[in-house]
Amino acid sequence: MSKVELKPAVAEPLVNLVVVDYAGIARGRGVPRRAFDESHGNKTCGWVPANMSLTTFDIIADPNPWGSRGDLRLVPDNRARYACWPSQAATPLDIVMCDITELDGTPWVCCPRNFLKSALADFKAETGCDFIATFEQEFKVLGAEWEAASSFGLSALRRADPFGSEVVAALEQAGIPIEMFVAEYGRDQFELTTPPSEGVAAADRAVVIREVVREIARHKGWRASFVPKAEVAGVGNGVHVHFSFVGPKGEPAAYDANGLGRMSALAASFAAGVLRHLPALIALTAASPVSGLRLKPHNWSSSYTWLGEKDREATLRICPTVTMGGKDPAKQYNLEFRAADATASPHLVLGVLIRAGLEGIRARLPAPPIFSGDPDALAPSERENAGLRRLPDTLEGALECLAADHVVRSWFAAEALETYTGMKRMELKLAEGLSGDALCQRYAGVY
């Protein structure tokens, strides 16, 4: 028998083929990096249709359209590879975002990334413009046992050191530029902002940011949670989607100095489409039993079908532009959709936002009124005149709004809709025994 000489096997880095499912959870499979790189990223891996029926609670919805049958592939998009090596990690965190396809490579009917791609392609074809976006994401650090620090406080930033610096370094290494790392209003709450990018990249980046933040917090023995509410009485974590349009010659296309709220006709119709379908959109953008705890008036989140100018209570906010130093407002001009959270797939969030806006553009809807004030202080008839409808603040309510909006439902293939709503109904059933802080804590452990 020949003698076998062994050296310690060093860790073989893995490339993680990742998709974000209807539950807003990044799932995937790891392949050895050497093999992946040798294949020039042409390595696909298997996936199972019923995975899309997985709930937050890791139980597959029953019934679901798929059962145990069928096979799919995760197909890496090599332009969407995000690799970094957080200083305390044993191996690099190497993520490549994937599309879900049939075995012959055609897009799978439920693939959220393909849903976004097709919405973007339609937007481009029908308007001649590119859609650009960025996700502004808030999260809470749990378990750090820090001494108290003031909201937005320098002390809140410094006591976390080097957490923020490590997160920024890792994300920049992964190719995601960071604008700001912010100590937010809530206790142990932070926020990360990035410059805008093309639509698919914006949603992919939102995913990677969450994973990098969670991983670096984990190495410190904490948990970073993007849950919409970590406790009922606490400050919510929002996912705010900023978006704008760029014309064929690279010119800003959402801005018109003479438009209402300085919106171009295109932006105005887009906003009107979003407001029209907003109650149904909630079932896809803030889509969990905890989401409604955040969507309350006076929370600076969003609670009505409300277009507002520079008002953080509005669901669709016209953001400020800076003119000092002769800066061009047109290039900065953007709208912010504030009714999303991390329990939703970022690809679906962006996809339905674009689909709703496109409906408004196709119908040439006029600019919606800009509301300023407190909707709760108005009489119901005054709210109605101002076009202010209360957003659903339960998942049941949101699903009813989705069921009632045949336009929103028409954006999805029948199987996709059945998969999505079946999964959400199962989630409701599984969450039934939980309420208040216990519900928030359960979700904080997942998101």
Residues that bind Mg ion (CB under 5 A): 191
**138 is an interface residue for ligand GLU by CB under 6 A:** yes
* Three-state DSSP class for residue 32: strand
Widest Cα–Cα separation across the chain: 91
Closer to ligand GLU by Cβ: residue 118 or 441: 441
Shortest distance, CB of residue 294 to ligand GLU, whole angstroms? Answer: 5
Closer to ligand GLU by Cβ: residue 113 or 140: 140
Shortest distance, CB of residue 132 to ligand GLU, whole angstroms? Answer: 20
Closer to Mg ion by Cβ: residue 141 or 408: 141
Closer to ligand GLU by Cβ: residue 33 or 296: 296
Closer to Mg ion by Cβ: residue 191 or 405: 191
Q: Which does 99 bind (CB under 5 to 8 A by kind): ligand GLU, Mg ion, none?
A: none
Closer to ligand GLU by Cβ: residue 238 or 368: 238
- In the block, residue with structure tokens 């932006």: 267
Q: Which residue is nearest to Mg ion (CB)?
A: 191
Binders of ligand GLU in range 307-346 (CB under 6 A): 312, 338
Distance (Å, rounded) from C-alpha 68 to C-alpha 62?
A: 12
Closer to ligand GLU by Cβ: residue 134 or 269: 134
Q: Which does 301 bind (CB under 5 to 8 A by kind): ligand GLU, Mg ion, none?
A: ligand GLU
Binders of ligand GLU in range 336-395 (CB under 6 A): 338
Rounded to the nearest 10°, the torsion over CA 301, 303, 309, 311 is -40
The first and second tokens of residue 39, run together, are 């294949």
Distance (Å, rounded) from C-alpha 246 to C-alpha 132?
A: 7
Distance (Å, rounded) from C-alpha 356 to C-alpha 349?
A: 11
Please check whether residue 163 is in contact with residue 216, taking contact to mean a CB–CB distance below 8 angstroms.
yes
Pairing of β 335-340 and β 239-246: antiparallel
Binding segment toward ligand GLU, per CB under 6 A, in 85-93, 124-132, 235-243, 325-333: 235-243
**204 is an interface residue for ligand GLU by CB under 6 A:** no
Q: Which does 383 bind (CB under 5 to 8 A by kind): ligand GLU, Mg ion, none?
A: none
The first and second tokens of residue 163, run together, are 């957490």
Binding segment toward ligand GLU, per CB under 6 A, in 231-239, 251-259, 260-268, 418-426: 231-239
Q: Is 201 exposed, middle or buried (0-12, 13-18, 19+ CB in 10 A)?
A: buried
Q: Which does 235 bind (CB under 5 to 8 A by kind): ligand GLU, Mg ion, none?
A: ligand GLU
**236 is an interface residue for ligand GLU by CB under 6 A:** yes
* Three-state DSSP class for residue 206: helix
For residue 136, what are the contacts with CB-CB under 8 A and spacing of at least 6? 191, 192, 193, 238, 239, 240, 241, 242, 336
Closer to ligand GLU by Cβ: residue 235 or 350: 235
Shortest distance, CB of residue 237 to ligand GLU, whole angstroms? Answer: 6
Shortest distance, CB of residue 11 to ligand GLU, whole angstroms? Answer: 38
* Three-state DSSP class for residue 91: coil
Closer to Mg ion by Cβ: residue 139 or 255: 139
CA-to-CA separations, 211 to 136, 147, 180, 232, 283, in angstroms, rounded: 15, 26, 17, 24, 24
For residue 97, which of 110, 78, 115, 73 has the smallest C-alpha distance? 78
Shortest distance, CB of residue 193 to Mg ion, whole angstroms? Answer: 8
Shortest distance, CB of residue 416 to ligand GLU, whole angstroms? Answer: 28
For residue 324, what are the contacts with CB-CB under 8 A and spacing of at least 6? none
CA-to-CA separations, 378 to 300, 386, 389, 390, in angstroms, rounded: 18, 10, 12, 12
Shortest distance, CB of residue 378 to Mg ion, whole angstroms? Answer: 26
Shortest distance, CB of residue 236 to ligand GLU, whole angstroms? Answer: 3
Q: State the DSSP H helix or E strand holding residue 180, giving kind and residue range, or none if neither.
A: strand 180-183
Tell me, by CB under 6 A, how many residues bind ligand GLU: 9
Shortest distance, CB of residue 184 to Mg ion, whole angstroms? Answer: 5
Q: Which residue is nearest to ligand GLU (CB)?
A: 238
Q: What are phi and psi of 8, to 5 degrees?
A: -60, 135
Q: Is 113 exposed, middle or buried (0-12, 13-18, 19+ CB in 10 A)?
A: buried
Q: Which does 86 bind (CB under 5 to 8 A by kind): ligand GLU, Mg ion, none?
A: none
Beta bridge pairs of residue 32: 14
Shortest distance, CB of residue 274 to ligand GLU, whole angstroms? Answer: 17
Binding segment toward ligand GLU, per CB under 6 A, in 46-54, 233-241, 264-272, 351-359: 233-241
For residue 190, which of 160, 231, 211 has the smallest C-alpha distance? 160
Binders of ligand GLU in range 275-304 (CB under 6 A): 294, 300-301
Neighbouring C-alpha atoms within 13 Å toward the C-beta of 188: 19
Q: Which residues bind ligand GLU (CB under 6 A)?
A: 138, 235-236, 238, 294, 300-301, 312, 338
